[in-house]
Each structure stands twice: as structure tokens, then as C-alpha cells.
Structure 1
Amino acid sequence: MFGTSPRFSVKASVKNIPEHHNLNYTAAYITCQIGKTQGYPAYVGLLQKKNLARTPSHVLAIEGEGVQRYGDGAWPGKESEVEFTVCIPSMFNNFDNAAQLVETLEMSRLLGAGRVVLYNTSIAPNVEAVLSMYIRQYQLGRDSLEVKVHPWQLPTFMENGVKKTFKEKEIIHYYGQLAAVDHCLNRYRQVSRYIVFSDLDEVIIPVHHATWSQLIAERQEKTTNGFLAYLLNIFRGKFAGFMFQSTLFNRDRPSPASGFETDALHYDSNILGYTSRDDYFFPPRRRSKLIVDPKKVDVMGTHRIWQGSGLTDNVPVHDGFVAHYRMPLYYCQSQVQDSSVAERFGVKLAERLKHVWSRLPGVALEWKHEKKNVHTKVCLEYNKGGLSDDQNLWIL
């Protein structure tokens, strides 16, 4: 601790999270055990053992929902717990897709979220205006959805006299996505019954239920018999997480749901405007996303739980799945028309979009960028034999 409070030192251990993607740097946990008699530290710093007499060059204030600071000390506060917190990794490259942001926030609300947490590396003015509106409305007591935004700047370093970031050197994966995921797990563990991990262009869809809460309750109930129930009993009767397989709704060709053509265009809505998806679900742990019990998870990965105290339920796609709205990963993939998401949630979603955008006069849906429709051209060339199976048919 620092300031007027006593300082003490404890031994720390370092554990890398496995998802390094063969890059130079990865996220890691640095942990230490603090005795009850030492109290709650307000600040923390790192030193090598040989330098314990020195003052750390970087001192970080202890973060945490449910932690309140008094003078130089910190004590557990009394924060209200929400049933679902949604964690979304970094917004970057001057992120400007306000339409996508609003839709993701409102779908999260409809599905049961009480809090959405985002990480800001670089955003455009229209996105900043949207976030400011949500934060202000919650602070004034006019909105039940809490939106939290954490600054998320990667470290910088000097190379030949020029300041560069980790991303410019491609030495850490996707703007520190894994670090953001595990930061959110720990930051909101004590004030969340469940934590939902997804991206801004994804929504975890319950197929037969109106909310995530109803889906999870049924998944727990379905596994009360047999060997799985025996294993669950060992882990105190509940899953640590629920894994959802992903399918792609392709944004290269508009395919608005019937009855929502006007709203799809007006609000640039993914859910209302794109109903053509790949006839394929990625297998578990490949592009999967999870809803977890944070008190049963110690180390979280992007697509799996790395360490915890319970089992993971691989939710069948007929019960729930991840709807991922993006440009195609694989051109010429077989497509199916699937308007089920729009049919089930479209009316309420359209009402919420209308309400939110009425509070954002003059705010652009996004700064418009040219989006080339290459799907038809590529597939025609492929069908004519103009392209090989490994040429120009997939994109990352």
C-alpha cells in the first residue's frame, strides 16, 4: 500500500494464459496471497526480489466492482449484482459503427443483460455520443442498462526514435483481446450472476426461450439425471459455463426479414437486414462464445474456459447459438435463409431502436465506407472453373 498507509510485500507468481497465437506476448495472471491481517490494499506494484527496498516505478490503483476507497485504503463495497454482465473486447481503428453498437446493446437488454462492458482503444465521435447517452441515462436513473467503458490502450515502445504500439509490431493478438476478457471476468465477478462473452457483431441467441435466464435454467434442469448429473454433483450441481456454437450471417448481400425492410434500412440493422447465413455451425471451441458462472471460472479464454471448478455445457444448436454478422469467411459456402432471429425478436428490437435513435438527433449510424459486393462475382467465377478450391474463396 502507498500514501499514508503501511506498505507490505508478498511473493507473486506469474502464469501465462495459453492463447498466445505464436506471438511474442500474451496475457498473464500475476497473483499473490494476502493475509487477512494485512487488510485490503488500495494500490499494487511489482518489484524483483532483489529490489524490494525500492519504490515500484508503476503503481496501480486496485480496481473492482464492489470496492470502495476510503483515504489510502480500500474495502469491499455494497454494489448491486446483476444477473447478466456482457463483456465485449476492444473497439479500435476509430470504430464508427454506431448502428451495430446500439443494436448489440439493445439485444443484450432484451435477452436479460443488466450491464454491458466495453473496451475503448479508438472510437469515432458518433460512437462516443452513443456511449455518453447510455452512461448519462443510467446515472440519472432513467435507464436500467448500465454501460461501462474502460480505456484500453496497448503499451507503447520506441523503435528508431519512433513511438509504436504493440499492434503495429503484431506482437500481441487482436489488441490484447484475451487480457480484456480476463480483466472483465475478474472486474465484474462479484457483481454478476453470469458473464456473457461476445463481440460487437455477435449475439448469443436462445432458440426456444425469450431470455438467457430461461435457457440456462432449462439447460440445468435437463442435466439432472444420469452420469452427467453425477459429475455435476461433484462440482456442486452447476455448470461453470455454457458454450454456444457459431454460424455466420453474411453482410455481403442484404436480405431483410419480411415486414422489417424499412427498419432494416433505416437503422442499418444486422438482425433485421441480414437473414442469409452459412449452412454450417463451427464446432465447439472454434469461434464459440460462452456464458459463464464467474465464481466458478479462474482463467477465461476467448472461446473456452481454461481453468475453473466446473463442467462446460456444450449447448446444442437447436437450443442456442451465436449469430455472427460479418462479411463472409468463406465465399461460395452453401447458404440458407434463416429469419428466425428477426421473427422472434424483431418487433421489440425495432421499438427499442426507434426509441434510442430518437434520443440521438444528428448522430450518424456510421461514417459510411464503401462495401464491395464481391460474393456473386467470386462464386460465378468459381462455378465456371475460373478459380481453384484454395484461391480467393475465404477471407479472414
Structure 2
Amino acid sequence: MDKWRELRVKFIFLFSVATFLFTLFYVMLLERLSTHNIIPYPHRDTSRHLVQISEDSITPLHQTKHTLVSAYMDQRRKSWDVRIIGIFRRDSIQPLHCLFYCEDHLSSNLTQANILQHSDNFGFPYTTTDVLCEIPKKCRATHVTLVPNKEAGKHTFLPIRNQKTNGDEPQHFDFNFTVCISTLFGDYNNVLQFAQTLEMYRLLGVNRVVIYNTSCGPELDCLLRGYSQEGFVEIVPWPIDHHLKPSHGWMFSKHGGELHYFGQLTTLNECIYRNMERSRYVLLNDIDEIIMPYKHNNLMSLMNELQLQHPKTGVFLIENRIFLKNHFEPSGKFHLPQWNGVPGVNILEHIYREEPGRNVYHAHKMIVQPRMVQQISVHEPLEIFGGQFKVPPDLCWMIHTRGAWRSELKLEELHVDTKLWNFTGKLIPNVDKVLRRTGLLTERPF
């Protein structure tokens, strides 16, 4: 009897140890999966596999020459539910299938992908590409990926954004105006103009600025981090140069490379979908440009008038006006001593603008209602649901501080434009405040 009691005690002890070790192992496994953003799921054959979720802004697509950027719920076109934005090599397009993760399991059904290359590629081998996917029935899709064949394997999934809890939710916008800055690259460090531009936009009613950052200088990086902590700027890391050879210019025959201008076309489209459900309007322009109302005090007053006159319009085209940075306002009244040590251009000193030549193509930038846009290029929409309208210059144009476009013009042929000076009472102290907050301005203004 004592022998059986001894064996029973040993059995209970060993069972307890085994249970403890199994529990410890399971907890450590769950922690590891959580750390690496991996979700366990039952596959078709009920065996256990792992789903890898991408947290990167650029994700290579396995067994292809393509990369994926992001996925958004988009049910504006019949039969399609999800739009994946990617960068595809134009000469390597192949049939693809959409594979969904459905809340807590992998879908057993693949759906055929509809691949739509954007028509603007400027001759480069790689181009912005949309892939439309249909969600299988009885699948509450949370993540999606593309597969080049129907064989199962280890794939990297993208989260599906812009999801609603139900289809009857009222439209609510977190922001009225969002500015999309397509790309920062080449260690860009024009700090003073950057701060002036962002503070000018804030005065005009902009609530958020989204910037796709490949590289910037140390002072600008410091300024960006300050704006990001405040919540005014959203920085999207954009390491496109780790995946492709991006061009520093817009024309393949002249500038070479694999992709137009560090992926500018891709980031502009991505930014529209990123803000489709949260911003009433999106402004698409470069960091050295300000879309400026000339008959209104702010952007909302301008857009209220334009929408009243053009209620079915989704894209408003804004003409460009170049303010020459090599000509300075002669009195020097805004050559402020506290900005002497801040790198960059002081846009308040440049008041001489060109009139555009009307016998050549004239580029525009845009204010859009993102829900009416499907595809966009740099200067015009590619596919939209509503109309487009060229805003008359007397209402609004773009202040673009840069080198001359029409170099043959003499100083007396330029126009004096001091519109920015109307805002200096608030603009200058606001710029000083943000520069001082980030340690870029140490002296107080005189």
C-alpha cells in the first residue's frame, strides 16, 4: 500500500511540474507572437500556421518584383471591396489572387485580383498600381495579401484600413483640411521655409499635415519630431531607396532610375486614401508651395463659396505662381535677426512673382474631396467620380518660392505680391515659438 502511495505522490508531482512547464512555454510563445505581430490561425487542413502582419510602409510581395504599400476598404465600385495600393514593375505583371484573414481565421477562398496600373508613369519601369479585391462571403476581413499562385504558403498581410462598424454610420470628419507632402529626400533641410509654410497653413485652417519622409537634415528632423509630438504633423516613413532605385527627377529619359521622383505618385494616392474617412478636404502640393486664398481669409471660406457654385465637383485645380528666391524685398523689413542662424529660405523676403506663360502647359496643384477620387497624378486627377474645376486666379493661387521658371524676365517685368505680409502679425511669433520649442532658435527677437 505504501508503495502505491509513493508512486501516486511521484505521479502528482511530475504531472504538476509538466503542467507548469507547459503553461510557462505557452505564455512565452504568446508573448513572442505578440512581439513580432504574428497571429496563429487554423489553415484549410486545420494544422497550425503563422500569419505575418506588416507594420512597414513598403512591403515586398513574395515571388514577384512588386511591393505593397497599404490596403483600404473601398466599396465605391460594384463587386469590389478592398483597394491595395502598390508599386509594380510594368513588364512583370502576372495574375494574382487576394487572400484574406477573417477576424480570427484564414479564409479558405481566394478571389481573383483586378490589377489597375496608373496611366501616369513618366516612362519609368515601376508604376503606382491599384489592386481591387472582393471579400469572400462570411468573411469579416481584417487583413489582406496577394498571392501569385493558389498554393498555400507563408505570406505577409496588410491591415485593411478605413473600416466601419456598419454601413449606416453618419459621415464624421476629424479634420477639415489635410495637406499631403509627397516626399522628403536628399537630406532636405530647408527648416525656415518649412516652419513658415506649416504655420501659414495653420493660420489658413489646416488641421493636419502628412509627410512621407525618406531622408531629411538634422535640424529639419528635430522640427518634424516637435510637430509630430504636438499632433499637427503625421510622419510616414518612406524608405523607398531601400527597395528600388528612385529617380531624383520626373522624367525617365533625363533622370534615369526605376521609379518617378521617389515614389511621389504612390504617396499622393496613398495619402488620399489614408485621409478619405477623416478629412473633408485634402491639399496636394510640395513643401515649397502654399495654396493661398486671395479673396478669403481662410481655406474654409474659399471652399464654401466654391462648393456652393460647383456642388458636384471633387477636384479643384489651383494655378501655380512662382515667387523668385533670388530677388529680395529691398527694404529688408522681414530680414529678422533671430532667423539668421536657421537654415533655409525666408519666404517673407521674396515678393516678386512671375506671370505664367500662357503658350505652354501650365501645371496645377489640387484641393480634393478624397471620397470623390479614385486615382490622382501630380497635376491632375486620373479617375474621379465628380467633376473638376480650375479655380480662377483672382480667388486663389499657389505661392511657390523657388528659382525662376521664365529666366528671361527682368525685375521690372515681375509683379510685386505681398499677400503673405497680411499674416505676419501672427505668423512671425508662431514661427519663433516653434523654432524655440525645438531648440532651433536660441535668441529672442529684438
User: Which range, TM-score by smaller chain?
Assistant: 0.7 to 0.9
**SS of alignment partner, residue 328 of structure 1:** coil
CA–CA separation in structure 2 for the residues paired with 1:256 and 1:114: 34
Change (3 A) 1:103 1:63: farther
Question: Do structure 1's residue 198 and structure 2's residue 285 form an aligned pair?
Answer: yes
Alignment partner of 2:117 out of 16, 19, 27: 16
Please tell me the root mean square deviation across aligned C-alpha atoms, in Å: 2.9
Amino acid at match of 2:135: I
Change (3 A) 1:295 1:264: farther
Change (3 A) 1:132 1:274: same
1:272: how far off? 0.7
Contact 2:314 2:369 (C-alpha < 8 Å) held by counterparts: yes
Alignment partner of 1:62 out of 139, 159, 170: 159
CA–CA separation in structure 1 for the residues paired with 2:301 and 2:262: 34
CA–CA separation in structure 2 for the residues paired with 1:360 and 1:29: 39
CA–CA separation in structure 2 for the residues paired with 1:265 and 1:155: 33
Question: Do structure 1's residue 135 and structure 2's residue 228 form an aligned pair?
Answer: yes
Change (3 A) 1:113 1:23: same
CA–CA separation in structure 2 for the residues paired with 1:47 and 1:67: 26
Structure 1's unaligned 5+ residue stretches are: 69-75, 139-145, 158-163, 224-236, 365-396
Contact 1:10 1:32 (C-alpha < 8 Å) held by counterparts: yes
Amino acid at match of 1:310: G
Question: Do structure 1's residue 216 and structure 2's residue 294 form an aligned pair?
Answer: no
1:332: how far off? 1.8
Aligned residue in 1 for 2:234: 148
Aligned residue in 2 for 1:275: 351
Question: Do structure 1's residue 350 and structure 2's residue 437 form an aligned pair?
Answer: no
CA–CA separation in structure 1 for the residues paired with 2:350 and 2:160: 40
**SS of alignment partner, residue 103 of structure 1:** helix
Aligned residue in 2 for 1:45: 145
Aligned residue in 2 for 1:315: 391
CA–CA separation in structure 2 for the residues paired with 1:319 and 1:167: 35
**SS of alignment partner, residue 37 of structure 1:** coil
Greater RCO (Cα-Cα under 8 Å, separation 6 or more) = 1
Contact 1:264 1:270 (C-alpha < 8 Å) held by counterparts: no
Contact 1:154 1:167 (C-alpha < 8 Å) held by counterparts: no
Question: Do structure 1's residue 29 and structure 2's residue 130 form an aligned pair?
Answer: yes
Alignment partner of 1:120 out of 213, 238, 246: 213
Aligned residue in 2 for 1:329: 405
Contact 2:116 2:129 (C-alpha < 8 Å) held by counterparts: yes
Map 1:183-194 onto structure 2 (within 5 A): 183-194=270-281
TM-score by length of 2: 0.67
Alignment partner of 1:182 out of 261, 269, 272: 269
Residues 181-210 of structure 1 deviation map (CA, whole Å, 9 limit, x = unaligned) = 000011111001011101000000100111
Residues 252-276 of structure 1 deviation map (CA, whole Å, 9 limit, x = unaligned) = 2222677433279646554311001
Alignment partner of 2:336 out of 257, 262, 266: 262
Amino acid at match of 1:189: M
Contact 1:121 1:151 (C-alpha < 8 Å) held by counterparts: yes
Contact 1:286 1:303 (C-alpha < 8 Å) held by counterparts: no
Contact 1:245 1:284 (C-alpha < 8 Å) held by counterparts: no
Larger Cα Rg: Structure 1 or Structure 2? 2
CA–CA separation in structure 2 for the residues paired with 1:286 and 1:3: 54
Identity of aligned residues (%): 25
Aligned residue in 2 for 1:99: 192
Change (3 A) 1:14 1:290: same
CA–CA separation in structure 2 for the residues paired with 1:87 and 1:283: 30
Question: Do structure 1's residue 165 and structure 2's residue 165 form an aligned pair?
Answer: no
Change (3 A) 1:188 1:127: same
CA–CA separation in structure 2 for the residues paired with 1:354 and 1:327: 26
Amino acid at match of 2:303: I
Amino acid at match of 1:194: Y
Question: Do structure 1's residue 296 and structure 2's residue 372 form an aligned pair?
Answer: yes
CA–CA separation in structure 1 for the residues paired with 2:140 and 2:308: 41
CA–CA separation in structure 2 for the residues paired with 1:200 and 1:282: 25
Contact 1:239 1:312 (C-alpha < 8 Å) held by counterparts: yes
1:29: how far off? 0.7
Contact 1:207 1:319 (C-alpha < 8 Å) held by counterparts: yes
Contact 2:246 2:261 (C-alpha < 8 Å) held by counterparts: no
Change (3 A) 1:240 1:52: same
**SS of alignment partner, residue 290 of structure 1:** strand
**SS of alignment partner, residue 31 of structure 1:** strand
CA–CA separation in structure 1 for the residues paired with 2:187 and 2:120: 26
